Amino acid sequence: QVQLVESGGGVVQPGGSLRLSCTHSGNSVDVFAMGWFRQTPDKPRELVARSTTGDRLPIYADSVKGRFTISRDDAKNAVALQMNNVKPDDTAVYYCNVVMKRPGEPLENYWGQGTQVTVSS
């Protein structure tokens, strides 16, 4: 069973910065992708950023492009989200996501416990 642990959430002022971190217990060789999603009571779960193993080209939600940056340290089974110039609309619970792909097996999604980010003045 792959487990994910998130940290770094909190309260931040508009225009400020926050860094979210996530580690997982899976085998690094099986990682297909790592990323971050967010969810609020008023909005469905939304992809924020994702990095796919291999090409490593990151994808971002249009709303965070130029402000958020995803990074990976595969040797440490870690992924982070640097959030700069945050806005009130960034307020959400952020979930770390790891996609595993073992040879001959289908893709498997694993999720962190969620960490609250509140952007407020």
Q: pLDDT per residue over 91-115, tens digit each?
A: 999 999 999 999 999 999 999 999 9
pLDDT at 116 over 80: yes
pLDDT of residue 8: 96
| In contact, 38 and 46? CB cutoff 8 Å | yes
Residue in this structure with the two tokens 């694993």, named with its chain if needed: 110
List residues bridging with 38 in a β-sheet: 46, 94
Inter-CA distances, 40 with 27, 58, 114, Å: 31, 23, 11
| pLDDT tier at 54, thresholds 50, 70, 90 | confident
| pLDDT reading at 56 higher than 80 | no
